[in-house]
Each structure stands twice: as C-alpha cells, then as structure tokens.
C-alpha cells in the first residue's frame, strides 16, 4: 500500500521504509526554529543549563525575533535582549531580528526544504508546507527535547486530500480559497491531520499563494498543510541558493481519510466573520459592515504580491476618512522590493501607514492595537476575541484586495469592482 506525502516525509525522518497513521515514531528533525515569544526564555533556557548546556546541532537551530521586534516597551526590549544574548552564548549563528515574521524568513533564508521535517515554536510553522516541507508547531517543552536530542516523538497523522479544480477569477485569491476550505472543514475539522492541497488551481498558484494556504492549515486544527513541490518551488529555491532536498509526492494508491473537491471557477471573495475563522461568507453577504481599521500584513498575507494587489486597488484613490489603514510588509526584503517598484509609494499616497516588518499588530502586541468597540478587517490568520486588541473589538478576515477595498469605502466591500474599473 502506498503512502501520502506526509507519511513519506515522516518515514524518512524516522529511518523507516513505511509508516502508517496512528503509529508513534521518533523522527529526526532537520530544522528547529524558535521565536522570541515561546523561545529560549520559556522553559528552555533554565532546563538546558540543568541538562549540561548541550545542544544537538547548532547548525540546525534557527532563532527569529519577530513578535516583539521592534520593541514597544521595556518588557519587550528585555525579552529581545535575552533572546539575542542566549543565541550568542550558545553559538546560534542563524539568528535574525526585526526583518519579518519567522515563517517568511525561513522561506527567504532557504530553510523550507522539500522532504524535510521542520519544527517551530509557532503554530503557523505549517507555512513551510508550501515547499513540500513538513513544518509543524510545537511547544517550548517539546522544543527543549528537540534541542537536546535532535528528535521529535510524533504520531503519524492521517491526511485529508483537498482537490481544487478550475481557475480563480480576477479578484479572487489564495486567501479566499483557504477561507472557503476552512469554512467547509470547520475550525476543528482537520485536528491532528494533514491538509494536502492539490488540483489544477493549486498548481497554478504562486509560491506566495501556496504559503497562504499552508499557513492557515492550523486554523482548521491541522498538524500541517502540504503542497507537492514542483518546478515553481524548485525555481524559488534555486533563486535563493537553497537545496532542493528530497522532494516527495504521494503515491497513487495512498490512503486518505477524506477527500474534498472544490470548484475554483465558482469561488467569490470570502470573509471570515468575528470571532471564528470558520464563520465564512461571501464578500457580498458581509458587504456594508463598517470598519475602523484595515490591516495588510503578517506571515499570511504580507508578501509582495499581496502588497501589489492592494496597491492596484488603491492607486489614485484615498483611504476613507476615519479609517486607519496599516501596512506591514512580511519581510525587510519585501519592503525593499515594494519600495523599488513604487508599491509602497502608492500605498502611502492613498493614506496607508507603513509599519516595520513584524508580527506586532497581528496578535495585538503593538503597532495597531484595537480599542473597545472598534472593528477591523485584516489579512492575518486569526480573528479570535481580543486577538488584535480589546476583547470587545471585532476582526473580519479577508484577502489583501478585500482589505484595500474596505479601506477605501470604510466598510467591507467587493474588491472586484475596483479591479474592473482599473
């Protein structure tokens, strides 16, 4: 009997010929990533000392300070100081600070290698699945074990096959696709399972779009999201000088616990309503909801194509009076490209406030916190109660284009009309 992509990757990591769902294995980790939120300062630093200051392989450890950087207060500054000092003390040379959310930086620095196992102290480590890399989030205690042993105790998950046929229409994006998927599965519908995306529509998505899909797999409870690596993924990896790894695809006779089929041709822009990511409706159903803030950024949708699409809609227009539009590029390199290609200028001319590449606004730490009673539309991945500020604020999720359209009108609006006008 054949194996799925996930099973093949885990089998290699476990040094086994075959693994089956439900089986427990010790898997060799290829890359261990810590951030500043749940990294060395939480459990890890004290326990590492008690265990003799031993780290299994410093070259396989990456630390990315992204949640608190740049620091908004003394507490955050001290957390960043502790993290960078710890990295220096333990000889972790792959330390990055203030250049963007960790999942984007992992991709840009060439750590998302097909066929490998990557773990991170952030639930959205599943973003790496866009390259056929089994990326998954773990807690600080689990990370301690990985740092010491280089292994992860793992139950082999079942896989849900998600087949997206057809082609996305103008004004419809990967974010709409994944929101529709989560709306159908439910926020717990893929708990401890793999979401494997396939079909004509997925093959035609950019790497950036695939990262959006896999990033949000955890919002349905998934262990990870995966897209089979192809020429497009290899071109990205070649361009940054990264290895191609050991790419795998699922066998024809692999067993999936469920297969869901979707028609991209019929997909409209989607909006997730407060306060659950699976409360998904079409933009026409949500249209008219007034907003106070429009946020474009994060590890989900702050990449260049996201900024570019928003700029297409905003070019020559102005953000509505009384609306704050905040833009945080997903990395410093994306920021620089957007500057070179006048995307940042277009956004700023429209009235957007340009922020540093950071996770700050996404989870309400800094740079755009919502007050009591305020409503926001965001290109991020979560709209939980209190996620971006006050517990009595509300968050709608949508594509970068939907964020831009809402910023223009001061209410949720269909972005397609602006693209048609342009």
Question: What share of the chain has pLDDT > 70, as a percent?
Answer: 100
pLDDT band (50, 70, 90) for residue 214 = very high
Which of 238, 262, 286 lies at the terminal end of a domain, its last residue? 262
Q: How many CB atoms lie within 10 A of CB 365?
A: 20
Domain that holds residue 152: 5-262
Query: Looking at the structure, do residues 359 and 234 belong to the same domain, yes or no?
Result: no
Query: Looking at the structure, do residues 59 and 174 belong to the same domain, yes or no?
Result: yes
Convert the pLDDT of each residue in 61-113 to its tens digit.
999 999 999 999 999 999 999 999 999 999 999 999 999 999 999 999 999 99
Query: Looking at the structure, do residues 191 and 302 belong to the same domain, yes or no?
Result: no
Rg (CA), the chain: 21
Query: Looking at the structure, do residues 322 and 298 belong to the same domain, yes or no?
Result: yes
Query: Looking at the structure, do residues 168 and 297 belong to the same domain, yes or no?
Result: no
Which of 227, 262, 297 lies at the terminal end of a domain, its last residue? 262
Query: Looking at the structure, do residues 143 and 284 belong to the same domain, yes or no?
Result: no
Sheet with 31-35, edge to edge strand ranges:
95-97, 61-65, 31-35, 117-120, 134-137
Query: Looking at the structure, do residues 171 and 293 belong to the same domain, yes or no?
Result: no
CA atoms within 13 A on the CB side of 259: 10
Number of domains in the chain: 2
Query: Looking at the structure, do residues 130 and 80 belong to the same domain, yes or no?
Result: yes
pTM: 0.96
Residue 367 sits in a domain whose CATH number is 3.30.499.10
Give CA 330 to chain center in angstroms: 10
Convert the pLDDT of each residue in 246-292 to its tens digit.
989 999 999 999 999 999 999 999 999 999 999 999 999 999 999 99
Query: Looking at the structure, do residues 356 and 409 belong to the same domain, yes or no?
Result: yes
Query: Looking at the structure, do residues 339 and 379 belong to the same domain, yes or no?
Result: yes
Query: Looking at the structure, do residues 388 and 321 belong to the same domain, yes or no?
Result: yes
- Can you tell me the mean pLDDT for 196-212? 97
Contact 153, 117 (CB under 8 A): no
Which of 262, 287, 308 lies at the terminal end of a domain, its last residue? 262
Convert the pLDDT of each residue in 46-62 to its tens digit.
999 999 999 999 999 99
Convert the pLDDT of each residue in 147-160 to its tens digit.
999 999 999 999 99
Query: Looking at the structure, do residues 330 and 309 belong to the same domain, yes or no?
Result: yes
């Amino acid at each position: 009997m054949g194996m799925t992509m996930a099973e093949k990757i885990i089998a290699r990591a476990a040094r086994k010929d075959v693994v089956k769902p439900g089986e427990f294995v010790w898997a060799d980790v290829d890359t261990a990533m810590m951030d500043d939120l749940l990294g060395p300062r939480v459990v890890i630093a004290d326990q590492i000392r008690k265990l003799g200051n031993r780290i299994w392989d410093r070259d396989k450890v990456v630390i990315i300070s992204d949640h608190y950087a740049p620091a908004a207060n003394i507490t955050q500054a001290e957390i960043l100081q502790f993290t960078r000092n710890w990295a220096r003390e333990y000889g972790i040379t792959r330390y990055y600070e203030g250049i963007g959310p960790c999942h984007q930086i992992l991709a840009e620095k060439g750590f998302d290698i097909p066929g490998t196992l990557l773990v991170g102290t952030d639930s959205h480590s599943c973003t790496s699945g866009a390259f056929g890399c089994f990326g998954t989030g773990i807690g600080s205690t689990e990370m301690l074990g990985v740092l010491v042993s280089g292994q992860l105790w793992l139950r082999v998950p079942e896989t849900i096959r998600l087949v997206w046929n057809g082609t996305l229409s103008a004004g419809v994006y990967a974010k709409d696709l994944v929101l529709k998927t989560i709306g159908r599965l439910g926020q717990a519908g893929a708990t401890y399972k793999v979401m494997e995306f396939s079909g004509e529509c997925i093959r035609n998505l950019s790497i950036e779009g695939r990262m959006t899909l896999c990033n949000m797999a955890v919002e349905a409870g998934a262990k990870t999201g995966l897209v089979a690596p192809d020429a497009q993924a290899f071109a990205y990896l070649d361009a940054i000088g990264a290895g191609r790894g050991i790419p795998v695809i699922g066998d024809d006779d692999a067993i999936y616990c469920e297969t869901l089929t979707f028609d991209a041709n019929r997909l409209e822009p989607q909006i997730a309503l407060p306060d659950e990511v699976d409360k998904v409706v079409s933009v026409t159903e949500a249209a008219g909801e007034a907003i106070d803030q429009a946020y474009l950024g994060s590890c989900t949708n702050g990449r260049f194509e996201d900024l570019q699409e928003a700029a297409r809609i905003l070019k020559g227009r102005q953000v509505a009076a009384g609306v704050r539009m905040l833009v945080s590029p997903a990395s410093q390199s994306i920021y620089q490209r957007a500057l070179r290609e006048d995307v940042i200028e277009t956004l700023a001319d429209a009235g957007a406030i340009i922020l540093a590449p950071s996770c700050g606004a996404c989870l309400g730490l800094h740079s755009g916190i919502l007050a009591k009673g305020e409503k926001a539309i965001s290109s991020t991945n979560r709209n939980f109660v209190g996620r971006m500020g006050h517990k009595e604020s509300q968050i709608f999720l949508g594509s970068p284009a939907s964020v831009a359209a809402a910023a223009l009108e001061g209410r949720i609006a269909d972005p397609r009309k602006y693209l048609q006008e342009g």
